[in-house]
Structure 1
Amino acid sequence: MRIILSGYTGHMGREVRASAERAGYPIVAGVDAMAKEPDDICVLSFDDCTAEADVIIDYSHHSMTGKLLDFAEKRNLPVVLATTGQTEEENARILEAAKKIPIFRAANYSLGIATLADLVKRALALYPDAEIEIVEKHHDRKLDAPSGTALSLFNAVKEVRPNAVANLGRSGMGKRTEDEVGIHAVRMGNIVGIHEVMIGTQNEMITLKHEAFSRGVFADGSVKAAAFLAGKPAGLYDMKDLLREGD
C-alpha cells in the first residue's frame, strides 16, 4: 500500500511516517504547504504531486479539504481524513466526495476511543435518567475546542438519547435542563489527549475515561484505516466499520 501523506512535516505527519514504516507501507509522497524545505518526497501543494499511490492520509488543516478531495477524486484515491474542525461547507464537500470515492473519517483514530464510545452507549442504556458531562483535555497548542473527539462522544450519546442538547463550556445563571449534556475543554501543557464521560444520578456516578500516552496511537489507527479502505466502494466509513470488520 503506497501512501500520500498530507501534513507531512507536522507532529502527526512524523508519527504516521513512523507507523507506516513499522507496518511496511511506503510513503511515496508528502504534501505540506508549511514545509520549509520541499524535496523529492514532500511538495507544497497537490498541484505538484505526481506520485503513484493507493491512498491518501490527511493530517493537515481543514482549510485544505477542498483541494485534497479535488485531487483524490481526479486520481480516484481513497482518503483517510484525520483532520477536524471542518466548516459546514467543508462537511458538505466531504459528503459529496464520498459518493465518488471511499472516505474514512474519524475525529479520533484510537481504537480505545471507539471502545469508549461503545461503552458510553451501553451505560446510558442502563441509566436512562442519568445526567451526562463530557470533559476533554489537550495540550495548549490545540486550536479547536471542544475537540472533535468530544463532539463524537456527544454524538454517541445522541444515538441513545436523540433529544440530547450540547452545552459548550457552561456559564451564566440557570438550572441544568433535562436534556443537557455539558462539554468542557481544558488546554494546558503537553497533554496528548484525555476524554472523560461522567454519567451520574443523585446516588452514584460512573466515569468512563480514555487517556492517550502518545500520538503514535492515532497514527497507528489511521494507517489501519488506510489498509481497511483497500478495495472498498465509494462511501463514508468510520471506526465502527473498522471494529466491525475485526470482529
Structure 2
Amino acid sequence: MTRPIRLAISGASGRMGLALLSLVRDDERFELARAVVSSSSARLGKPVYADVSPLRFGDWSGEGEADVVVDFSGPEGLAAALDRCEAGGAALVTGTTGLSPALEERLAKAAERIAVLRAANFSLGVAVLTRLLREAAAALPGWDLDIVEVHHNRKEDAPSGTALALGHAAAEGRGARLDDLAVYAREGRPGARKAGTIGFAVVRGGDIVGEHQALLMGQGERIELGHRATDRAIFARGALEAAAWIAGRAPGAWSIEDVIATKG
C-alpha cells in the first residue's frame, strides 16, 4: 500500500495492546486509527499519546476506519471487532483465545468475506518451530514425540495454547488428529508407552516468559527442537508483521506460518 496502513487495536489497554501501541508509534508502516477498550476500562476517554496525537482510547463508535484490526481482547471484544471488520471490509488479526463454538464458527464464516489471521502465538520463531516440527514428525513417523512447555507461575492454562498448536502440527504431519494421540498425564497409565502418542509436560515457575521444546526420540538418537522467549515484545512485533502482511489480502483463513513463508 502506498499510504500507511490504518490500524485499529482492539484490547488496547491490555498487556499486548499496550505493547502494540508502544511499537506502532514509531512504525512508519502504520497510522493508528483506533485504540479500542472495554466500557469499564480506566483508560476510556484518555489520550493514547498525549504528546503527539489527539487520539483517545474509545469504543467502536464514531469515525476512524481501519484497513486492519489487531485484536487481543476477549471473546466479547473479538465479536465486536469482527462486527466492525465485516461492516467495513477490514482484515482481522487476532490472538484472542477461549472462544465459544459459536464464535469459532462465526470466524470461519467471516474468512469467506474478509482476510482473517489467527494465531496462538505471534512469535515468528515459534512459527518456524511449528513448521519444522510438522516436517520432522512426518519424516520420522515411528519416533516417540513429547512436547515440554515452561511458563511463569501466573499462567492459568496448561498445556499452553502454543504447546497445543505444536501438538496439532505434529499430528498433522503424521496424518492424524491430536485428539486421538495426545497424552496429557502419565499418572495412572502403567506399562510401556503406546506407539504414536504425543506426550505433554508442563512446568510453571518464576517469571519465565515462555519456553517450548519438542523431543523426537528414536533408538540411539534424539532430535530436540526448541524456542525460548525472553522478551514479551516479540509477540507484539509478530502481530504487527502479520498486520502489515495481511493488509490488502484476499479473504481467507490465514496463519502466522503464511507470513513467514513469504519472508526472505
Is this a same-fold pair by TM over 0.5?
yes
Q: Which amino acid aligns with 1:134?
A: I
- Does the 8 Å CA contact 1:195/1:209 hold for their aligned counterparts? yes
Q: Distance in 2 between matches of 1:114 and 1:62?
A: 24
Q: Which moved more, 1:48-57 or 1:112-121?
A: 48-57
Give the equivalent residue in structure 1 for 2:44.
Answer: 38
Give the equivalent residue in structure 2 for 1:137.
Answer: 150
Give the equivalent residue in structure 2 for 1:6.
Answer: 10
Return the match for 2:114 from 83, 101, 104.
101
1:197 aligns with 2:214: yes
Over 3 Å counting, the alpha-carbon distance change for 1:36 and 1:193 in structure 2 is same
Q: CA offsets, 1:66-105, max 9 Å, x none?
A: 2221221112111101222323222111101111111111
TM-score normalised to structure 2 length = 0.85
TM-score normalised to structure 1 length = 0.91
Q: Distance in 1 between matches of 2:184 and 2:62?
A: 40
RMSD: 1.9
Give the equivalent residue in structure 2 for 1:235.
Answer: 252
Give the equivalent residue in structure 2 for 1:167.
Answer: 183
Give the equivalent residue in structure 2 for 1:177.
Answer: 194
Q: Distance in 1 between matches of 2:240 and 2:172?
A: 27
Q: CA offsets, 1:98-134, max 9 Å, x none?
A: 1111111111111111111122133234422110111
Give the equivalent residue in structure 2 for 1:150.
Answer: 163
1:29 aligns with 2:44: no
Structure 2 gaps, min length 5: 46-54
What secondary structure is seen at the aligned counterpart in 2 of 1:90? Answer: helix
Identity %: 35
What secondary structure is seen at the aligned counterpart in 1 of 2:206? Answer: coil
Q: CA deviation at 1:63?
A: 4.0
Structure 1 or 2, whichever has the larger Rg, is 2
Return the match for 1:50 from 45, 48, 63.
63
Give the equivalent residue in structure 1 for 2:52.
Answer: none
Over 3 Å counting, the alpha-carbon distance change for 1:143 and 1:4 in structure 2 is farther
